[in-house]
Amino acid sequence: MNKVQQYEEKAEILKALAHPIRLCIVEGLINNECNVTRMRECLDLPQSTVSQHLSILKSRGIIRGRRKGTEICYTVTSELVKELMKVLMNK
């Protein structure tokens, strides 16, 4: 693979994580999956804001949502991100 391209891809992943709200969301999701409304209460932010952060994470393949009735439950699917979070938050 092209080196520049690789840097761009990795930078995209980091950019997706490089926001306090998204870090909070991702860390929360690594432990227990959660729907938007629950996150919203926890973060005290407008619903649209949470939803947009989720869509950024989703578009980068970091999380995935599965519908459960009327809610959508999200989980972290990227192993790379799980490992990065382990390193990032435990030091």
- Asked whether position 87 contacts a second copy by CB under 8 A, the answer is yes
Nearest residue to 13 (alpha-carbon basis) of 88, 77, 80: 80
- Asked whether position 52 contacts DNA by CB under 7 A, the answer is yes
**49 neighbors 20 (Cβ within 8 angstroms):** no
* Least distance from DNA to the Cβ atom of residue 74, Å: 8
Q: Which is nearer to a second copy, 3 or 67 (CB)?
A: 3
- Asked whether position 75 contacts DNA by CB under 7 A, the answer is no
* # residues near DNA by CB under 7 A: 26
From CA 47, how far away is CA 4, in angstroms rounded? 36
